[in-house]
Chain A
Amino acid sequence: MPSLLGVFEAPEPVADAATRLKNRGFSEMEIYSPAAFEVLDDVLDEKPSRVRIYTLIGGLLGVVTGYTLTIWMANDWPIMIGGKPFSSIPIYTVIAFELTILFGGLATLIGLLVVGKLPYGSFGKTDEAYSARFSGEEFGLVVECSDRDVAEVDALLRSHDAKEVSLVGA
């Protein structure tokens, strides 16, 4: 099946066009954007990003590790130090806190890679539709459609002032 690539100047038209197409039942779409724009975030998928789950789990893991590590190690071979108790929670909180951040941060990175499907593609290759202009200032909207819908989609894209529409991978 062919894919149509519309090239735009601004994010909002892309968003509108994509929304319209979605309502028309076109599901296979992809948006290329040179920068982050909130209007584009939820166009293709409304669900909130799952990265936060990773962050949460990482953080919890960190705080638990922090306390267990310190308390276990201090009691594994109990040695009197400065007349302080072996399991001194307030002191170990510092460690627990740092580990919370550390684990949370690393988990977030993992989250980004998993959720964002990175690294993407095979080395040195990109999508057929992708081109360096999209890392310039232009936006791209790729729609996969059956041959008979090409005209309609094309019209719709142009109606959302796409400055050019081309056929990809025919």
Chain B
Amino acid sequence: MSELDRRDFLKLVGVGAGSAAAAGCSDHVEKLIPYVVQPEEITPGNAVFYASTCAECPASCGLHVRTREGRPVKLEGNPDHPINRGRLCARGQSGIGRTYHPDRLQRPQKRGASGELEDTTWEEAIALVAAEIAKAPQKTQVLGGQTGPTRGQLIDDFVGAVGAGGRTVYEPFAQEALREAARAVFGIETVPHFDLSGADLVLDFGSDFLESGPSPTEHAGQLADARAVDTHDDGGARVIAVSPRLSMTVSNADEWLSARAGTEGILALALARVAIENGAGDDSHRALLGGLLADFDAASAAKKTDVPAESIERVGRALAKAKSAVALPPGVALSSRRAIDTTGAVLVLNHVIGAVGSRVQVPPASAGAQPSYRETLALIQAMDAGNVSVLLLHDANPAYSIPGTAGFRDALEKVGLVVAFASLPDETTALADVVIPTHSALESWDDAQPRPGVRSIAQPTLRPLYDTRSFGDALLDIGRAVSPAASGALPTGSWRNVLEAAWADTDWTAALARGGVFTDAPAGEPTALSADVARLEVVEPKFTGSGSHTLIAFPHGFLYDGRGANLPWLQEIPDNVTKVAWASWAEISPATAESLGVEHGDVIGVETSAGRLELTAVVRGGLRDDVVAVPQGQGHTVGWWASRADEGAPGEARGVNVLDALPAGVDERGGRAWLTEKAALSNTGRSRRIPTQQTHDNQRGRQIAESISLVALAEAAHGDGHGDGHGGGHGDGHGEAHEIREPFDPADDAHADSEYRWGLGVDLDRCTGCSACVAACYVENNVPVVGETESLRVRQMAWLRIERYIGDGEPELRAGRERMGPNTESVGDTDVRHAVMMCQQCGSAPCESVCPVIATYHSEDGLNGMIYNRCIGTRYCANNCPYKVRRFNYFDNQITKWPEPMRLGLNPDVTVRGQGVMEKCTYCVQRIAEARQVAKNENRSIRDGEVVTACQQACPTQAITFGNLRDPESAVSKQAENKRGYHALHVLNTRPGTTYLAQVDRGEVEG
């Protein structure tokens, strides 16, 4: 349809808006606002899905945007998309918030006489910018983040047309070291991508590939399939993680080598050596033994890396034995000044174990402008020298994400006219002279090419809320205004026409419907090691600063490089590892804490050569004694949720920006490095509470998150399914499979003549603890975000949370009850259980029988119904719920916590809860109801897999299954029969509808 139609049909309508008022009916007159022109595909009250592309990170996952009456209400994964295969991570789920964000830039702004930004008109803004460019085109520069191919091309065209000085691509977390390393090792300047599907041994050198890696959702899915115990009797792929701290990724590994930070390359080469000695690789590799690998024998490597020689030997042998092993290079957190050599070493290792070409795809040299930190720094130099008169900024927040020592802010002062294209304000737009308001990602056309063979398209799914333009159109308008010549040189038509032209070689409508064009990636031709390999200098990196601890600035699982900080859900959902929200923190080991004389919650000073930070200490055992770890992404001074504006303190930073303690950080080849500082720690004597959702990670043998060893699993598979009934669930995993199953059939717990008994299955072995389900639940069910102050009181409303336990908690029990060790992690221990905890829809629910007004009850199809408008708030149900999954509205959160226009994004199918009522998960009953309508229309019963709960839909590893327990063929029934199946806290005989599958303990890798 034409642009115009689209605008009209996406005109906002109020038909569904009514449901955004609180439970407990109000008496005001409700207006019915119909369409002016009703598009054929829209029926008010029914959802329409549009395929699009996620813009939250360069991975570019495919989206299905669920819209109601022309408003996106939920982002879901596009099943056809090869990257995420229908799944979507927490960041992607939260992306919807950017469109309905209270901060939205609503019209062009320019810096007025007062020095403040003032509203202006499009005409004026464009004229102003164009005039400035026309004055000195040569001194015009474009600086921005990674964009889709078409948009990149458009920018290049623009640069060419107006004769601008040039274009610089700045992407904080771009894999520059990997690209450089690829050139060094394969002689091709490209970004290899890693494919874990079918791998049997994954060796992670600190890439954090499950949280902040290059493509977390994709890799999580691949790994989960690669080690699914139901299809691999041997337990499938093993994961060995090399990292100084127990990150979420490490917690999913089978073995954890806590190498000294920065020595990963040494370890990689040592492993390569052992592998070759044990028969891995070919002659070309054996040749390396004398050269590159000469002095990387296990013993000396052990000394340097602080990894026991025997482990190196064993893992090396395992690598040699493995049929399809793969090694992942260090990520942001471990990019030292030797990042390129380290990464190179890992690539060499990959080559040795024969992963290159299969698990490691080396695409042909990448075309177009590539992200370059070095060039960015060069541009800053130029700006500082006054050689830039106009700077166009887009898709990046350099004022925040470039360390202050690089002097970007000062250099910006010297630029004549700073023009920022943005849909949300940030530190950079705050410094701009002209702010061009662009559409949000959901409002504009775009495309992306995360890798060869994957062309993904993004289409607008609602009518622009404000007087904004898509980046492309704005740029074209400016370019055309510069000069007739420029106008002539620029592509004709609107940005949309440009995009369509770029896709001319494809079936446009088919691409729109499918979300892009997906072909098999061109098989990377077998790549030989280049001669330059010998030139890799794999040595311990140099650190600046005199401190005793190595400062590790790791990317926050949700905030990424800081771009997530302004999305409420990403702030409220607690960190996957520490369960801390709304804050920055410093992780130190108990030994460090003792030496400093601080405790969990005390504020410590972290001083480096570049600056000093004060952070609340989080004491955890899962950390090397010689490091202090601080998350990136906080410390914003602009933004409703990013700064503390939502708490009534605009301009006040939330948390601290760890980059303030990092130097401009270039590695020996000019790439970006984060792991460069030694930090001196000090005890400030103060303490500051930070919102922490979970304080105890010791489950005291209560069988909430179970684990089972491969041995016991095999026994269970052949055993009679009856074992000794004694509880406790020992760490060695003998016979949980017997004792964690109790004699009842969840399918019984529904109305006698009901066709359904809804049930849910959670496979803890697949679950990585990534919190995608939590975010999905928040967005789907209109769960309010309560903010920092309320979170300090642990009043988050999350219907679904992820509990993190270390082992069974047995030792603590034996040690005596008084030892409450809030943190029982220890270095090298990867027995971490991530338990998804939501309402279990109990058959004999303790909450139901205590409610005096029948506000909660057992529905005919086995759900534990919660009727908000009947609830009077005695909170007895919540007391009596052993799983503690009920949440209470202490305030009128829906009114106070959703600034306009956030309410437009509320899901009209879910009642919005008012003050003083209890709420909880009901297995997405609104989706069940929707499916029931469809089924009844077609006069049939609901099919298995027809109802997909929000959490299930989001889960990157498909750890969650949902369906009808009364249908013996349904996936969930089969799962309930699984030998690993058990029910949380089964001793209470609550007869839950949720079945957990025990995590599998695969043990150490055998050499």
Name B's interface SS: loop
The interface bits of chain B over 842-873 (1 if a CB of A lies within 8 angstroms of the residue's CB, else 0) are 01111111000010011110000000000000
B793 within 8 A of A: no
Query: Could you tell me if B751 and A81 are in contact, using CB atoms closer than 8 angstroms?
Result: no
B829 beta carbon closer than 8 Å to chain A = no
* A contact residues around B846 at 8 Å (CB): 82
Q: Does A48 contact B (CB under 8 A)?
A: no
Name the interface residues of A13-46: CB closer than 8 Å to any CB of B.
none
A69: Cβ under 8 A from any B Cβ: no
As a 0/1 sequence over residues 81 to 92 of chain A, the CB contacts with chain B under 8 angstroms (1 = contact) are 111100000000
Inter-subunit contact A80/B751 (CB<8 Å): yes
Instruction: Write the B496-524 contact mask toward A (1 if CB under 8 angstroms, else 0).
Output: 00000000000000000000000000000
Residue A57 lies at the interface, judged by CB distance under 8 Å to chain B:
no
Could you say which of A79, A80, A82, A83 has the most chain B C-beta atoms within 10 Å of its C-beta?
Answer: A82
List the A residue with the shortest CB-CB distance to B880.
A82
- Say whether A79 contacts B857, CB under 8 Å: yes
Residues of B within 8 A of A82 (CB): 844-849, 858
In the assembled complex, the Cα of A81 lies from the Cα of B846 at a distance in Å of 9
Across-interface contacts of A83 in B (CB, < 8 A)? 749, 843-845, 858, 991
Fill in one digit per residue for A49-92: 1 if any B CB lies within 8 Å of its CB, else 0. 00000000000000000000000000000011111100000000
Q: What A residues does B843 contact at CB under 8 A?
A: 83
Task: List chain B residues, Cβ under 8 A from A79.
Answer: 854, 857-858
Residues of A within 8 A of B859 (CB): 80
Residues of A with C-beta under 8 A to B858 = 79-83
Closest Cβ of chain B: how far from A72's Cβ, in Å? Answer: 15
A83 to B860, CA, bound (A): 12
Q: Which residues of A contact B749 (CB under 8 A)?
A: 83
Return the chain B residue nearest A81 by Cβ.
B848
Nearest to B850 among chain A residues (CB) is A82
Q: How far is the CA of A95 from the CA of B697 in the complex (A)?
A: 43
In the complex, A82 Cα to B844 Cα: how many Å? 4
CA distance A39 to B863 in the complex (A): 69
Q: Is the CB of B991 within 8 A of A81?
A: no
**Measured CA separation A167–B267 after assembly (Å):** 124
Q: Which of B748-769 contact A (CB under 8 A)?
A: 749, 751
**A81: which B residues are within 8 A, CB to CB?**
848-849, 854, 857-858
Name the residue on B nearest A83 (C-beta): B844
Q: Which residue of B lies closest to A79 (CB)?
A: B857
B925 CB to nearest chain A CB (Å): 16
B344 CB to closest chain A CB (Å) equals: 63
CA distance A79 to B848 in the complex (A): 11
Give the Cβ gap from B747 to chain A, nearest Cβ, in Å.
14
List B contacts of A80 (CB < 8 A). Answer: 751, 848, 857-860
Which residue in chain A gives the minimum CB-CB distance to B854? A79
Question: Which residues of A have CB within 8 Å of B848?
Answer: 80-82
A91: nearest residue on chain B (CB-CB)?
Answer: B849
Chain B residues with CB under 8 A of A84: 844, 849
- Give the complex CA separation of A84 and B844 in angstroms: 8
Which B residues, 69 to 104, have Cβ-Cβ distances below 8 Å to chain A?
none
- Smallest beta-carbon distance A57→chain B, Å: 30
When chains A and B are docked, how far (Å) is the Cα of A82 from the Cα of B880? 12
Q: What CA separation (Å) do A81 and B847 show in the bound complex?
A: 9
CB distance from A12 to the nearest CB of B (A): 57
Question: Please, which residues of chain A bring their CB within 8 A of the CB of B845?
Answer: 82-83
**A-side contacts of B849, CB under 8 Å:** 81-82, 84
**Nearest A residue (CB) for B844:** A83
Shortest distance between the CB of B843 and any CB in chain A (Å): 6
Interfacial chain A residues near B847, Cβ < 8 Å: 82
Question: What's the minimum C-beta distance from B986 to chain A, rounded to whole angstroms?
Answer: 16
* Bound Cα distance A81, B865 (Å): 10
- Complex interface residues of chain A between 104 and 123 (CB less than 8 A to chain B): none
- Taken together as a complex, chains A and B put the C-alpha atoms of A59 and B845 apart, in Å, by 35
Query: Chain A residue with minimal CB distance to B748?
Result: A83
| Closest chain A residue, CB of each to CB of B856 | A81
Q: Give the shortest distance, in Å, between A80 (CB) and chain B (any CB).
A: 4
User: Which A residues lie within 8 Å of B991 (CB)?
Assistant: 83
Bound state CA distance, A83 and B847, in angstroms? 11
Shortest Cβ distance from residue A27 to the other chain B in the assembled complex, whole angstroms: 58
CB distance from A83 to the nearest CB of B (A): 4
Q: How far is the CA of A80 from the CA of B864 in the complex (A)?
A: 10
Q: What's the Cα separation between A84 and B849 when bound, in Å?
A: 8
Q: How far is the CA of A88 from the CA of B859 in the complex (A)?
A: 19
Give the distance in Å from the alpha carbon of A163 to the alpha carbon of B743 in the complex.
88
B859 (CB) vs chain A CBs: closest residue: A80
Please measure, in the bound complex, the distance between the C-alpha atom of A80 and the C-alpha atom of B842, giving whole angstroms: 12
Provide the bound-state CA to CA distance between A82 and B749, in Å: 10
Cβ distance B134 to chain A, nearest Cβ, rounded Å? 75
Bound-state CA distance A35–B857 (Å) is 57
Within the complex, the shortest CB–CB distance from B744 to chain A, in Å, comes to: 11
Whole-angstrom distance from the CB of A91 to the nearest CB of chain B?
9
Residues 234-278 of B at the A interface (beta carbon under 8 Å): none
- Determine the distance from Cα of A11 to Cα of B253 in the docked complex, in whole angstroms: 96
Residues of A within 8 A of B860 (CB): 80
CA distance A75 to B858 in the complex (A): 15
Q: Give Cα A84–Cα B991 distance, bound, in whole angstroms.
A: 13
Q: Which residue of B lies closest to A84 (CB)?
A: B849
Distance of B85 from chain A, by nearest CB (Å): 39
Give the distance to chain A from B379, nearest Cβ to Cβ, in Å.
Answer: 67
Tell me the B809-850 residues at the A interface (CB within 8 Å). Answer: 843-849
A80 CA to B846 CA, complexed, in Å: 13
Q: Closest B-chain residue to A88, C-beta based?
A: B849
Nearest A residue (CB) for B847: A82
Contact with A along B12-45 (1 / 0, CB 8 A): 0000000000000000000000000000000000
Chain A nearest CB: distance from B742 CB in Å?
15
Could you tell me which residues of chain B, from 936 to 970, have a CB within 8 Å of some CB in chain A? none
Complex Cα distance A45/B843, Å?
64
- Rounded to whole angstroms, the CA-CA distance of A82 and B846 in the bound complex is 6
A79 to B846, CA, bound (A): 15
Residue ID in chain A nearest B858 by CB atoms = A80
Closest chain A CB from B641 CB (angstroms):
40
What is the CB-to-nearest-CB distance from A73 to chain B, in angstroms, rounded to a whole number? 10
B862 → A minimal CB distance (Å):
9
Considering the complex, give the chain B residue whose CB is closest to the CB of A80.
Answer: B858
User: Shortest distance in angstroms between A75's beta carbon and chain B's nearest beta carbon?
Assistant: 14
User: For the complex, what is the distance from the CA of A79 to the CA of B857, rounded to whole Å?
Assistant: 7
**Beta-carbon nearest neighbor of A82 in chain B:** B849
Return the chain A residue nearest B860 by Cβ.
A80
* Bound complex: CA A48 to CA B844 (Å): 54
Nearest chain A CB to B853 CB, angstrom units: 11
Tell me the minimal C-beta distance from A9 to chain B in angstroms: 59
Bound complex: CA of A155 vs CA of B849, how far in Å? 75
Q: In the complex, what distance in Å separates the CA atom of A84 from the CA atom of B845? A: 10
Once the chains are docked, how many angstroms separate the CA of A83 from the CA of B846? 9
Per the bound structure, the CA–CA distance linking A84 and B847 in Å amounts to: 12
Smallest CB gap from B848: residue in A: A82
Alpha-carbon distance between A84 and B859 when the two chains are bound, in angstroms = 13
Taking the closest CB of chain B, its distance from the CB of A56, in whole angstroms, is: 31
In the bound assembly, the distance between CA atoms of A166 and B816 in angstroms comes to 89
Min distance, Cβ B90 to any Cβ of chain A, angstroms:
35
Determine the distance from Cα of A80 to Cα of B854 in the docked complex, in whole angstroms.
10
* Chain A residue with the shortest CB-CB distance to B849: A82
Distance in Å from the Cβ of B869 to the closest Cβ of chain A?
A: 15
Complex Cα gap A83–B862 (Å): 10
Which residues of A sit under 8 angstroms from B857, Cβ to Cβ?
79-81
B988 to chain A, nearest CB (A): 13
* B841 CB → nearest A CB, Å: 12
Given contacts A81-B857, A83-B843, A83-B991, 17 further A-B contacts (CB under 8 A): A79-B854, A79-B857, A80-B751, A80-B858, A80-B860, A81-B848, A81-B854, A81-B858, A82-B847, A82-B848, A82-B849, A82-B858, A83-B749, A83-B844, A83-B858, A84-B844, A84-B849
**A residues engaging B (CB < 8 A)?**
79-84
Could you pull out 7 A-B pairs where Cβ atoms are within 8 angstroms? A81-B858, A82-B847, A82-B848, A82-B849, A83-B749, A83-B858, A84-B849
6 shortest A-B CB distances, which residue pairs? A82-B849, A83-B844, A80-B858, A82-B848, A81-B848, A79-B857
